[in-house]
Amino acid sequence: MKVNGIVAEYNPFHNGHAYQLQHAKEANDADYTIIVMSGNFMQRGAPALLDKFTRTKMALENGADLVLELPTRYAASSAEFFAKGSVALFDKLGVTTNLCFGSECGNIEVLSRIAEIFYTEPEPYVESLRCNMRKGMSFPIARTWALLQYAPSLSDDKDVLSSPNNILGIEYLKALMSRNSKISPFTTTRVGADYHDKRLGTNQCSAIAIRQSVAAGHDLSYLAAQMPESAYALMTDSLSHKKPLFADDFSAALQYKLLTEYSVGYDKYQDISSDLSDRIRNTLPSFAGYTSFCDLLKSKDMTYTRISRCLLHILLNMTKEEFETCKSEDYISYARVLGFRKNATPLLTEIKKNSSIPLVTSLADARQTLSPESLRMLDLDILRNQIYLGNLALKNQTEMVNEYRTPIVIV
């Protein structure tokens, strides 16, 4: 059995995602495709435009066979932990043969060479990195120069580290190396609009362009050409019934959290240094909303996205201690199913035979089968999803959806 694994957010699912699924399936002659998908919070530190079950159905109707949830602690984390959590999940399933990801580079040899240097950290490279940092360079620039100083043959590929999908791809490769995994990496060259491109093109725009069009209240018919027909129908149906969430919908909750912990600071949270904690405290009197606060805190060394992610860590109580615990548990201790295709039953059978972690299809049953530590991690994830669902209910003046009563998606 040949099984592709793809890590995704599908926020929302568009033509570029459909192309990647199909191209990877054909290139690897895959029998099945498993998606490890972020839940209701994204890596850029913002809520999902559409809830995770709607996005799961989009994926299953457009080429995916099984969708598993990437816990929020990884989904809303740095590229390193995002990749480590995802790769650990695929590795522990015991059936994944190929890890497929999109990249601007499209060259698996170049990406693998860079990943090997970053993973093994040879002393000349590390010394160059330290020297560059002492000169006042930001970490990304210092790392790029250290890489070129150590491996001049990569000079033609010096722009690789300036593109987000390349960076994430390198982290996937590092994670595979660290696990000595038998999974083979495969990259698809990203087609269509750039990751950060906010313009609506003909049929290959970015997800951010779609999100911004929705946020601006534009006529959604303009998005029909950007998405597979079924995905567009699911999105428009969802948006016709409820208003979507955006980062500023969490402004009051974030301000409350920042105020109540002002006296002790925020450096117990993941990715937050003592310097950033002090900056947050000093800037807090000017708080006027989630996104505007990110703008106030960003600097040449810390992007808006990184600040937004750090603030989300505070809001969702994602501590450094939690991440240390996850490391000791080898990152993933269960696989939660969000949905699957009926004809993927042989895949589920193979996973049950080969997986080293339990497959969770029912939250109620999980309470009887998971270890105490795994159950604690699952409960944290359910709570974070309930924070999303609670704010969604408040915004739409409806009853909050109960995570325990939401069935998995079967198509």
pLDDT of residue 202: 54
pLDDT of residue 197: 54
13 is an annotated ligand-binding site residue: yes
Tell me the pLDDT tens digit for each residue of 362-376: 999 998 889 999 999
8 is an annotated ligand-binding site residue: yes
Q: Could you tell me if 242 and 392 are in contact, meaning their C-beta atoms sit under 8 angstroms apart?
A: yes
Q: Could you tell me if 73 and 326 are in contact, meaning their C-beta atoms sit under 8 angstroms apart?
A: yes
What is the C-alpha to C-alpha distance for residues 389 and 403, in angstroms, rounded to an integer?
9
What is the C-alpha to C-alpha distance for residues 118 and 112, in angstroms, rounded to an integer?
10
Averaged pLDDT score across all residues of the chain = 94
**H/E element, 143:** helix 139-150
261 is an annotated ligand-binding site residue: no
Tell me the pLDDT tens digit for each residue of 223-263: 999 999 999 999 999 999 999 999 999 999 999 999 999 99
Nearest CA to 381 among 86, 70, 77?
A: 70
pLDDT confidence of 194, banded at 50, 70, 90? low
Per DSSP, the three-state class of 211 is: helix
329 is an annotated ligand-binding site residue: no
14 is an annotated ligand-binding site residue: yes
pLDDT of residue 327: 87
16 is an annotated ligand-binding site residue: yes
Cross-strand bridge partners of residue 319: 269
pLDDT of residue 169: 96
pLDDT of residue 222: 86
Instruction: Report how far Cα 356 is from the mean position of its chain's Cα atoms.
Output: 23
pLDDT of residue 301: 81
pLDDT confidence of 386, banded at 50, 70, 90? very high
20 is an annotated ligand-binding site residue: yes
- How buried is 260 (Cβ within 10 angstroms: 0-12 exposed, 13-18 middle, 19+ buried)? exposed
45 is an annotated ligand-binding site residue: no
Tell me the pLDDT tens digit for each residue of 134-192: 998 888 899 999 999 999 999 888 889 888 899 999 999 999 999 999 999 999 987 65
Phi and psi at residue 101, to the nearest 5°: -145, 155
79 is an annotated ligand-binding site residue: no
136 is an annotated ligand-binding site residue: no
Peptide bond into 164 cis (omega under 30): no
pLDDT confidence of 199, banded at 50, 70, 90? low
Pairing assessment for the beta strands 335-340 and 66-70 based on DSSP bridges? antiparallel
pLDDT of residue 366: 93
pLDDT of residue 203: 56
9 is an annotated ligand-binding site residue: yes
11 is an annotated ligand-binding site residue: yes
Instruction: Report how far Cα 53 is from the mean position of its chain's Cα atoms.
Output: 16
Higher pLDDT, 141 or 67: 67
195, pLDDT greater than 80: no
At 377, list the tokens: 């991690």
At 246, list the tokens: 């955006």
pLDDT confidence of 300, banded at 50, 70, 90? confident
94 is an annotated ligand-binding site residue: no
pLDDT of residue 196: 52
What is the C-alpha to C-alpha distance for residues 230 and 67, in angstroms, rounded to an integer?
17
What is the C-alpha to C-alpha distance for residues 36 and 61, in angstroms, rounded to an integer?
16
Q: What percent of the chain has pLDDT over 70?
A: 97
203 is an annotated ligand-binding site residue: no
Phi and psi at residue 183, to the nearest 5°: -70, 135
82 is an annotated ligand-binding site residue: no
pLDDT confidence of 62, banded at 50, 70, 90? very high
Q: Is the dihedral of CA 172, 5, 84, 301 positive or negative?
A: positive
Tell me the pLDDT tens digit for each residue of 309-364: 999 999 999 999 999 988 888 999 999 999 999 999 999 999 999 999 999 999 99
Tell me the pLDDT tens digit for each residue of 13-58: 999 999 999 999 999 999 999 999 999 999 999 999 999 999 999 9
165 is an annotated ligand-binding site residue: yes
Instruction: Give the position of tokens 């995916």.
Output: 64
pLDDT of residue 46: 97
pLDDT (average), residues 65-69: 98
